């Protein structure tokens, strides 16, 4: 009720907070359209999280009709304010050509910014871009750095790929201990790898 009163008086943070409650149905009946209206109202004042949430509604077609062009516009508005999740998602749109023209260079630009802000999913994706030289100059050593950063945050896919690098001695020096560590962590998080299971069976008792 108080957020509603403040939102009607023009408080941007109240508009955003009330929109979140409406979108989640917390303390009030779920109403995506009303949430979208409030996110849009707050976004007109430049609220980055409002831009981002409104973009998601356009992507999912909830509260607003599905519109990838508008989603991209709102993601860009949030991304330009250093919103890491928006930067990562915008990079994904450029990578797939959804709502914007396909552009690997811009995809790498935005995903790179999100990666440097510490978003694990972005660090993994940017590592792959660096490894393959997709949209950016190939730099496999830097790719390992970002892969490690994502793995240390608990990203299972990054952990699995890092385990493979250490197992096969690609880019990094082969290290059965590190390969096993990252493989077991990834496996505990649901990423299985039969070849690595076979590989770690070579461990000596001391190494294990």
Residue 202: per-residue pLDDT: 87
Under 8 Å CB-to-CB from 198, ≥6 apart: which residues? none
Query: Nearest to residue 166, comparing CAs of 207, 120, 113?
Result: 207
Surface-to-core class of residue 141, CB atoms within 10 Å of its CB (0-12 exposed, 13-18 middle, 19+ buried): exposed
pLDDT at 205: 87
pLDDT at 207: 86
Counting every residue written for the chain, the total comes to 208
The list of the chain residues with pLDDT below 50 reads none
pLDDT of residue 181: 96
115: part of which helix (H) or strand (E)? helix 104-116
Q: What is the pTM of this model?
A: 0.93
């Amino acid at each position: 009720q108080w957020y509603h009163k403040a939102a009607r008086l023009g408080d941007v943070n109240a508009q955003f907070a009330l929109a979140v409650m409406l979108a989640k149905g917390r303390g009030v009946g779920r109403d995506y359209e009303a949430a979208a209206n409030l996110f849009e109202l707050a976004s007109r004042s430049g609220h980055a999280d409002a831009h981002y949430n409104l973009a998601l509604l356009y992507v999912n077609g909830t509260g607003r009709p599905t519109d990838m062009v508008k989603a991209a516009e709102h993601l860009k508005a949030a991304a330009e304010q250093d919103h890491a999740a928006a930067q990562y998602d915008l990079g994904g749109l450029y990578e797939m050509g959804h709502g914007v023209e396909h552009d690997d260079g811009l995809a790498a630009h935005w995903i790179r910014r999100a990666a440097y802000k510490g978003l694990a999913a972005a660090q993994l994706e940017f590592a792959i871009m660096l490894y393959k030289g997709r949209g950016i100059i190939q730099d496999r050593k830097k790719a390992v750095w970002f892969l490690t950063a994502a793995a240390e945050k608990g990203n299972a896919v990054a952990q699995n790929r890092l385990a493979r690098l250490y197992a096969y001695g690609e880019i990094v020096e082969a290290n059965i201990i590190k390969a096993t560590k990252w493989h077991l962590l990834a496996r505990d998080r649901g990423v299985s790898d039969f070849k690595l299971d076979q590989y770690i069976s070579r461990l000596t008792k001391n190494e294990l």
